[in-house]
């Protein structure tokens, strides 16, 4: 079965600085999708960024980018120019078949 590991329960970043959240996964499949979801306090979970495994180019969405290392099964999220609104729980997720598997999440705190 696929598993997703987020080794950082909590992270802090100073406003305007850059932070990287780690994610590793375990799978025997070659074709799959990876996602980062953001869950702000008491608000709905939303998709931040998505990566297709067969695409070598790292996905980017404005201040959010990923470092996808397929051989290492690593999928980290980099947030540049951090803003107060980035404070949230971030979940890494994997979809190979038709089931989304989530990591335990990383709480990101942004300091002003």
Partner 1 sequence: ETGVTQTPRHLVMGMTNKKSLKCEQHLGHNAMYWYKQSAKKPLELMFVYNFKEQTENNSVPSRFSPECPNSSHLFLHLHTLQPEDSALYLCASSQDRGRSNEQFFGPGTRLTVL
Name which position in 101, 106, 108, 110 contacts partner 1 (CB under 8 A). Answer: 101
CA 52 to chain centre: 13
Separate counts of helices (H) and strands (E) for the chain:
0, 12
Question: What mask, x for binding partner 1 by CB under 8 A, covers residues 50 to 79?
Answer: x-x---------------------------
Which helix (H) or strand (E) segment holds residue 46: the answer is: strand 46-52
Name which position in 7, 47, 55, 61 contacts partner 1 (CB under 8 A). Answer: 47
Contact positions vs partner 1 (CB under 8 A): 4, 9, 31-33, 35, 37, 42-47, 50, 52, 91, 95-105
């Amino acid at each position: 079965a696929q598993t997703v590991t987020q080794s950082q329960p909590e992270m802090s970043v100073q406003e305007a600085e850059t932070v990287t959240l780690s994610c590793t996964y375990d799978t025997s499949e070659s074709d799959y999708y990876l996602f980062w979801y953001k869950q702000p306090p008491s608000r709905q979970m939303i998709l931040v960024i998505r990566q297709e495994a067969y695409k070598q180019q790292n996905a980017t969405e404005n201040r959010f980018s990923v470092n996808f290392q397929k051989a290492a099964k690593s999928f980290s999220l980099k947030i540049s120019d951090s803003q107060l609104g980035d404070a949230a729980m971030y979940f890494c997720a994997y979809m190979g078949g038709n089931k989304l598997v989530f990591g335990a999440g990383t709480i990101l705190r942004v300091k002003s």
